[in-house]
Amino acid sequence: MVYVAAVYGKWERREQGTWFFVVDDDKGGRLFSLRDGCTHGELVEMANDEYGVDSNSELIEVSYPLPADIIQGVPIDSPPTFVTTDRQVQVLVELSRLHVIRLSVSSKRMNTAKSDLPDGDNVGSDSEWGLSTDDEDWDAQANEYDDADDEPVDEPRPTTDWTNGEIDEAEADYSEYGRVPDEDVREKKVPLDDIRLKGRCYNEGGHFDKYRDAVIKVGQRFASKDELLNMCRLMAVVHRFSFRVFKSSPALFVATCNVNGCAWRVRASLKNEAIAFFVTKYVSTHTCYVADRVANRKSCTPKYIGALFIERVGIIEGIVPEHIVISMKVMFGLKLNYTTAYRSLRAAHEYVRGTPEDGYANLASYLHRTKEANPGTITDLVRDKLDRFKYCFISFRACMVGFQYCRRVVIVDGTHLTGKYGGTLLVAAGQMGCFTQDFPLVIVSDRHPAIANAIETVFPWATRGICYYHMQNNIIGTYHAKDIMYMVKGAAYAHNLDTYNWERFNIKTSNIAESINSAVKKAKGYPLPSLLEFIREKLSHWFMKRRENALTLTTLHSKGVEYLLAVREHYAGFMDVERIDDWQFSVKSGAGLYNVDLELRTCSCGVFEVEKIPCSHAIAAINDARLLVSSYVSPAYNKNTVHATYAHPLYPSASNFSFVKKEPCRPRSLHRPLAGKRNQGGKLG
């Protein structure tokens, strides 16, 4: 163990060609403890933790100037020494035992541009900065997804340089491979000057005509009294007056101007149809004073403004209250405050999707129609003795068929719903890359006891894995044990079976499920049928894009796997191979010696077994044996497997007019929790 002082800042090159490190005084100094065998990943993590650098967007660089007695005879324009590999860390540790070394920590924006192959002269990093996207969220926020989108990553790419001879210690998340660019364009808010906010009423000359559709004439037919009443409201908004219902009965409707003595009047009644009203008398002229009409004008209700906005503008996605304010002023000259606009927007959402109570009432019929449209889909709706909602389950057939091509690891995560009645959405997700065994099954989640109880009840044979991020936050936040995190991370990232029992996977976090939860953030307040339909549409879009992407592949494997093989083959060329027998090889990579068995498809580094993709040591052995590298890649990464995973489409629900027997379902109780019981039950995530 050695102790090394560290400062934060940046390197600058002086006019004389010398290099000088400018220290950031605000960041202050730190003292790092480096153990024997410390890795580059641990060193970078220490720097990240101590200086609070965002590892998702910035790249940590650790360097130091050479001691004076070593730098003698070295040209003055020689750059500082950067610590980029595990071997460089060991050099630093040994050098610190003999000389006083001050580490220089700096950061730069991460370059996500992908080159064809890394330059062997500029390599440097280890598993901390390799191919891993498993430790990065699909979005900047893991639990809250801003307005819609789920998958910004195209395909795997190194976030920094590579470690010469140690490429296989880089983590790789193979769910990223073959990912389609721009498959979910982040939802854009509607511009405040969008032409659609002016409504859809244009005359033949292309000019806006607010009077179009606002027409009443004798003999006109209205399908119901409500339709006639809405037309009277539209007339009042367009012509800026108020009316009152003078008489309303099942067979007669009379409306007059709100100013006493005014001649404006509408009279309609039933004729030969059961509910249709026909206008029998209409006086369109106002005989009252304009000042009286203005004085007697009443404000429109938010409910009517919301319905009017949907009928005239026809869009709801990306709309905020300010859009309502602008649209109503442009179309009808109405001046709304923010509160009214906000309530109108909520009413517009209910006009399109229904109320939360309607959602519970229609949930059973929605599930039935979904099963009709997607045969083989499994649904279950559980209610209590009073027909109040308890649980709802849905698993689409397309997802169940695709899961047989996924790895036997299920990631589970929950998110709270934000609607009137609350609740929790629990998502179970798999990762592409199949293994044919049905058992054992691994379920990755946070440490919530409800998930643990469910696993013990339904899958008692399954192994439960804890999300690395949740465990890390718990260790640091609860036990304040940041100094042992390098050991926790070492266990999480280990490949070797010699140290850790059971077969290992490269899935360490619940980010996959959390990202799906984030993708549905905008729908978490919807009524339940609308929420489930939003999820179905999202899944249908993902499946379609991936099917199209698989069909366009010109290589045997997905783009990401082909790129990874090319990178590993690049480094395999620098390794020395000694053949032991027909199948076993000894591969020397830098200071390491690795045993490769091509018959068993194993390597002592552990990567080949975990990833089912040849590591660089295995590729060196395969090339020495003059065999095909592609024959040693798991069929899970074959383009045909990718296509088969997403081969089945998800169809929209059958028509609302299909006969479905009504099943009662009431909203859950909204009783306020008793004092001291508010936090009972914990929190998911």
Cα–Cα distance measured from residue 53 to residue 59, given in angstroms and rounded to the nearest whole number: 8
Measure the CA–CA gap between 396 and 536, rounded to whole angstroms. Answer: 8
Phi then psi dihedrals of residue 303, to 5 deg: -65, -45
Q: How confident is the model at residue 218 (pLDDT cuts 50, 70, 90)?
A: very high
Q: Which pLDDT band, with edges at 50, 70 and 90, does 314 fall under?
A: confident
Cα dist from 277 to 15, 114, 588, whole Å: 90, 68, 90
pLDDT of residue 84: 84
**Count of beta carbons in the 10 Å neighbourhood of residue 355:** 14
> Do 327 and 198 touch, CB atoms closer than 8 A?
yes
- Answer whether residue 152 shows pLDDT above 80: no
What is the longest distance spanned by two Cα atoms in the chain? Answer: 110
pLDDT at position 30, please? 86
Short-list 399, 602, 620, CA closest to 497: 602
**337 pLDDT above the threshold of 80:** yes
pLDDT at 339: 92
Name the least confident of 448-457, 558-567, 596-605: 448-457
What's the pLDDT at 220?
Answer: 92
Give the per-residue pLDDT at 333. 84
Structure confidence at residue 594 (pLDDT)? 92
Residue 603: its pLDDT value, please? 92
Residue 83: closest CA among 175, 163, 186, 197: 163
Reduce the DSSP state of residue 617 to 3 states and report it. helix
248-267 confidence digits (pLDDT tens)? 999 999 999 999 999 999 99
202: which residues sit within 8 A by CB, 6+ positions away?
208, 209, 212
pLDDT at 113 over 50: no
The conformation of residue 120, written as its DSSP 8-state character, comes to G
3-class DSSP state of 402 = helix
Model pLDDT, residue 238? 85
pLDDT score for 533:
92
Element holding 394 (H helix, E strand): strand 389-395
Q: What mean pLDDT is predicted for residues 435-464?
A: 60
Close Cβ partners of 73 (under 8 Å, ≥ 6 residues apart): none
pLDDT tier at 500, thresholds 50, 70, 90: very low
Dist. CA 424–CA 418, nearest whole Å: 9
- Average pLDDT value for residue range 560-571: 88
**Which H or E run contains 233?**
helix 225-239
SS3 628: coil
CA distance 644 to 261: 75
| 642 and 432 Cβ atoms separated by less than 8 Å | yes
Pairwise CA distance, residues 93 & 348, whole Å: 65
Which of 62, 55, 114, 117 lies closest to 88, judged by CA? Answer: 62
Q: Round the CA-based radius of gyration of the chain to a whole number and report it.
A: 33
Judged against a pLDDT cut of 60, whether residue 130 lies above it is answered with no
Q: Are 103 and 32 contacting, i.e. CB atoms less than 8 angstroms apart? A: yes
The two tokens of residue 3 are 């102790």
Between residues 658 and 580, the one the model is more confident about: 580
pLDDT score, position 212? 63
Residue 577 has pLDDT above 90, yes or no: yes
Please report where in the chains the tokens 């000894």 appear, as a residue.
Answer: 586
User: pLDDT confidence of 611, banded at 50, 70, 90?
Assistant: confident
| Nearest residue to 164 via CA among 128, 120, 114, 132 | 120
Task: Identify which of 510, 454, 391, 443 has the alpha carbon closest to the alpha carbon of residue 142.
Answer: 510
| Assigned token pair, 143 | 């639990």
**What would the pLDDT profile of 653-669 be if each residue is shown by its tens digit?**
865 545 566 778 888 77
Instruction: Please name the fold of domain 2-176.
Output: Ubiquitin-like (UB roll) (3.10.20)
Average pLDDT over residues 267-281: 90
Q: What is the pLDDT of residue 70?
A: 67
Q: Which of 62-71, 153-162, 589-598 has the lowest mean pLDDT?
A: 153-162
Which has the closest alpha carbon to 521: 511, 535, 541? 535
Range 323-337 average pLDDT? 88
Confidence of residue 108 (pLDDT cuts 50, 70, 90): confident
Q: Which of the pair, 56 or 583, is modelled with greater confidence?
A: 583
Tell me what percent of the residues of the chain surpass a pLDDT of 90.
19
Domain ranges in the chain are: 2-176, 195-353, 356-467+509-551, 554-644
User: Average pLDDT, stretch 286-301?
Assistant: 86
Residue with tokens 């983590």, as numbered in its chain: 171
Query: Where is pLDDT greater, at 596 or 13?
Result: 596
CB 159 within 8 A of CB 176: no
Distance CA 635, CA 612 (A): 9
Lowest mean pLDDT among 144-158, 455-469, 486-500: 144-158
Whole-angstrom CA distances from 194 to 197, 311, 400 are 6, 17, 42
Distant-in-sequence, close-in-space partners of 432: CB < 8 Å, separation ≥ 6: 174, 175, 177, 405, 406, 407, 636, 642, 645
| C-alpha dist (Å) from residue 680 to 389, 674, 676 | 20, 10, 8
Distances (CA, A) of 41 to 32, 44, 138, 400: 14, 5, 22, 38
End-to-end CA gap in the chain? 37
CA distance 387 to 391: 11
Per-residue pLDDT, 470: 62
Look up residue 448 and give its DSSP letter.
-
Q: What is the mean pLDDT of the chain?
A: 75
Beta bridge partners of 442: 409, 463
Angle at 372 between CA 368 and CA 378, to 5 degrees: 65
What are the CA-CA distances from residue 202 to residues 207, 230, 232, 235 (Å)? 5, 21, 21, 17
| Cis geometry, peptide bond prior to residue 152 (ω within 30 degrees of 0) | no
Tell me, what's the pLDDT at 575?
92
Please compute the mean of the pLDDT values over residues 123-146 and round it to a whole number: 33
Evaluate if residue 467 carries a pLDDT over 80: no
Q: Of 253, 256, 252, nearest to 242 (Cα)?
A: 256
Please tell me whether residue 168 adopts helix, strand or coil conformation. Answer: helix
pLDDT tens for each residue of 503-544? 444 444 444 545 666 778 888 889 999 999 999 998 898 889
pLDDT tier, 202 (very low <50, low <70, confident <90, very high otherwise): low
Locate tokens 């890390």: which residue? 472
Instruction: Tell me which of 408 and 233 has the higher pLDDT.
Output: 233
Confidence at 61, pLDDT banded by 50, 70, 90: confident
d(Cα 587, Cα 608) in Å, to the nearest integer? 14
What is the structure's pLDDT at 632?
93
The 3-state DSSP class for residue 536 equals helix
Q: What is the pLDDT of residue 375?
A: 92
For residue 652, pLDDT beyond 80: yes
168 against 661, higher pLDDT: 661
Question: Could you tell me which residue, 449 or 23, shows the higher pLDDT?
Answer: 23
Q: Is the pLDDT of residue 297 over 50?
A: yes
Comparing CA positions, the residue from 442, 505, 508, 517 lying closest to residue 472 is 508
Identity of the amino acid at 346: R
Q: Is the pLDDT of residue 29 over 70?
A: yes
